[in-house]
Amino acid sequence: MNVRTLCLSILYESEATGYEIRRLCVEGECSYFIEASFGSIYPALAKLEDEKLVTSRSEQQDGKPTKKIYSITAAGRAAFANELAQPLGEDMFRSPFLLFARFAHILPRSLVETRANEFLQILSDKRKRLKVTAADHCSNASDTWVINYGSVIMEVAERHLRTHMHELITLARADSNKDAAE
């Protein structure tokens, strides 16, 4: 998947601004698919508009700049379905926590324990957000299936961390007096 396909997927459901697309990619229901920055979203939208796959209209706002709202065209819907029919790339998983965990052995034990607990809380919060998303946004059985899949993945990660966190903490170096004072 690429940013172009992600933009079409969001517009397939409803019209949106570039800002709204970014928000959905960062903290919304699309944040689990691919990462998309403003620097990639707006060029993708411009190209989609040049290709007549989306249209845009400007809307005035009181005391704010004019916003540009994008809508998908019939050709855009067909292009989106065609892009979904193409072979999928590999899933990519990136985790700053796993990089941190990989080097737990060079870090103070108290820091590793703190970060592991923070990450555990993040996983728990994400699962709760998925439940809210399921309640608020599941418009069809496919949405429910995807949200359930994500929830199970997070549940397994959370269970693994709860069960094996002590191993990670044990790998860390013992706190020195200097580390403990900080």
pLDDT in tens, 161-178: 999 999 999 999 887 654
Q: What is the pTM of this model?
A: 0.69
- CA-based max dimension of the chain: 67
Beta bridge partners of 17: 69
Q: What is the pLDDT of residue 177?
A: 52
Asked if CATH classification 1.10.10.10 holds for the domain at 3-85, the reply, yes or no, is yes
Count, residues in the chain: 182
What are the structural domain ranges in the chain?
3-85, 96-181
pLDDT for res 129: 81
Under-50 pLDDT residues of the chain: 178-182
Task: Enumerate the H helices of the chain as residue ranges.
Answer: 3-13, 18-26, 38-50, 74-85, 96-102, 109-137, 141-171, 177-181
